Structure 1
Amino acid sequence: MVPDLLRTPEYVAAFIRRRQGPAVTDVEVAWWTRMWAERQDVLERSQSSRLQAVVAESALRSVVGGGSGTLRGQLERLVRVPDEGGPGDLRVLLTGVGYLPGVEESFTAYDLPAGYPSPIACSERLGGIAIHEEGVAELYANAFERLWESALDPQESAAFIGHLATDLSTRTNRLKGEGANQARTVRADHPRAMARPAHAGATRRTRPDAQVHRRLTGRGVLHARTL
């Protein structure tokens, strides 16, 4: 998944609906979307916190729901991260890098200022429970460092994500065009479409109708590894 503190509202909503299933209500989706936005605001207003995130290439190609437009909007948001001058750095881990410790799960490692236990880790596999045990948390912190060093640098990552966004847009438009052409062909072959106009001077136009359905609290450095 895309790092939660960098998700767009539309991506969050699609993710929640996919994770919770059909039983989730619009009110619950709105609550989760607002919560994510508030966490992002806290990070952006902070003078001492910083986010370092590694996202797998596969996550950037995965449509979580809401159609390709939701993914494209999310990719375009990620492209702007290096130019926004905000507290976030994003790197992409290419699929060709192969296996590295930590690559099989999503987790967050926190480096906290003096006076706080450090490091602390949260694993999505464990439901986001904070891991305070020093040895275990240190494993996550070390795993993140290896992932960070193996990923593309921020500028290369932005360029790669931009390429994915452009490619997705091109493929979506092509599919949309093919769908429209198919609709015209089907209508033209329909017996009623082949019939002559019932009134002299009247015309029948075949119009395409196919559509392509498309709390960060505390301070320090937040390392996020997401799939």
Structure 2
Amino acid sequence: MLREVGELFRQLRERRDLTQGEVAELLARHDPPFSLDSSAVSRLERGRRKRVAPELAAALLNCLDAESAERREVMALLQAETTPNSPRPALWRRNADLLGPMRFEGFLALELRARGEDNYEPKVVPGILQTRPYAEYVITKMRDGLRPADVKGLVDIRMDRQSRIADGALREFRALLDEEGLRKTVKDEEILKGQLERLLVESEKPRNSIRVLPESVDCHPGTSGAFVVMHFPEPARSVVWLENMVSSGYFDEELYTDAYTQAFNSLWERALDPDDTRGLFKKMIKELQ
């Protein structure tokens, strides 16, 4: 976890075009001041410190003009690192090199605190609902060039994520799928059939609401791509998570949260209702038999 925190601080420093020595000078002038030299800043960025105090992290975020979503991400990572009952999972540590570039460890830490989550996926089934064979298939296809061991590591993390969420704070999960993507993304009929059967089971759980946008729906706001909106216990606090091919981003400004929440709700109303969605799953399963 500290390794990813350090990487985030390095990115913030480079965005401001500062040297490690200049960051140390800013910390020395901060109120309250912190005494670090350039070597100490370097160790922090490389994740070599045993601990990063929240007060130091807050000062660094101030000095580096971090945005509110970046502050939330850093503090969530530190909380997960230091909470005795929630130590950083060994699985995350073993696969830090895979999680780091995508900034996905921060997402996992935030998700464990979320009370609600809205996930729109136009091409694949959301990770929370995937079977292992389906996850292996899509990760292999989407992350071209990964070694088999890396694919296994990411699949293991995805399965572990499902277990942690099942026992965690999440109380409402709304999954919005696209019929065209559901039918066409995975060509292996046995894998797809198993995934559809899993979706039927998941659709009956009180926590989950699953809907499918039918192929008849015309161009819509979700055409721009997949997104996740996480909702937290604090009043009016949400985070939007967007992923691209090489990284991901977190936003909690109202400009983002309002736009993506409105887009999700609009798509939700256009989608098949839960009963018709289950009927579609059953129809597709029958077609694959």
TM-score by length of 2: 0.53
Paired residue type of 1:103: T
1:76 correspondence with 2:197: yes
Q: Name the CA distance, whole Å, in 2 between partners of 1:82 and 1:16.
A: 23
Matched, 1:2 2:125: yes
| Structure 1: distance between partners of 2:206 and 2:133 | 21
Structural RMSD (CA): 1.9
C-alpha separation in 1, matches of 2:141 and 2:226: 17
User: Is 1:45 aligned to residue 167 of structure 2?
Assistant: yes
Task: Provide the C-alpha distance between the structure 1 equivalents of 2:210 and 2:170, rounded to a whole number of angstroms.
Answer: 18
Is this contact kept in 2: 1:119–1:138, CA < 8 A? Answer: no
Contact 1:121 1:131 in 2 (8 A): yes
The secondary structure found in structure 2 opposite 1:120 is strand
User: Aligned pair 1:55/2:177, yes or no?
Assistant: yes
- Is the contact between residue 105 and residue 125 of structure 1 (CA under 8 Å) also seen in structure 2? no
Counterparts of 1:149 and 1:43 in 2: how far apart (Å)? 26
Structure-2 change in CA distance of 1:134 and 1:121 (3 Å): same
The 5 A counterparts of 1:74-113 are 74-83=195-204, 85-113=205-233
User: Higher helix share goes to which structure?
Assistant: 2
What is the CA–CA distance in structure 1 between the aligned matches of 2:220 and 2:273, rounded to whole Å? 17
Do 1:100 and 1:146's aligned partners in 2 also have CA atoms closer than 8 Å?
A: no
Q: Is the 8 A contact 1:11 1:74 kept in 2?
A: yes
Q: Does 1:14 align with 2:137?
A: yes
Name 1:134's counterpart in structure 2.
254
2:268 aligns with: 148
Does the alignment pair 1:114 with 2:234? Answer: yes
Deviation at 1:86, TM superposition (A): 4.4
Q: CA deviation at 1:47?
A: 5.2
User: Aligned ranges for residues 191-206 of structure 1 at < 5 Å?
Assistant: none
After TM superposition, give the deviation of residue 114 of structure 1 in Å: 1.2
Match of 1:123 in 2: 242
The CA deviation at 1:5 is 0.7
Q: Which whole-Å deviations, capped at 9, do the CAs of 1:7-64 have from their partners, x for residues lacking one?
A: 111111111110122x322211111111111111122123552210100001210243
CA shift, 1:128, in A, is 3.0
Query: What CA distance in whole angstroms lies between the structure 2 residues aligned with 1:48 and 1:3?
Result: 15
* Gap runs ≥5 in structure 1: 170-227
Aligned: 1:31 with 2:150? no
Question: Which runs of 5 or more residues in structure 2 are unaligned?
Answer: 1-123
Letter in 2 for 1:44: A
Partner SS, residue 222 of structure 2: coil
Larger gyration radius, structure 1 or structure 2: 1
Deviation digits for residues 61-102 of structure 1 (CA, Å, limit 9, x no counterpart): 02436x22111111111122232x242111011111212212
Q: CA contact under 8 A between 1:106 and 1:125: conserved in structure 2?
A: no
Q: TM-score, normalised by structure 1?
A: 0.67
- Cα distance between partner residues in 2 of 1:48 and 1:130: 19
Whole-Å Cα distance in 2 between the matches of residues 112 and 102 of structure 1? Answer: 23
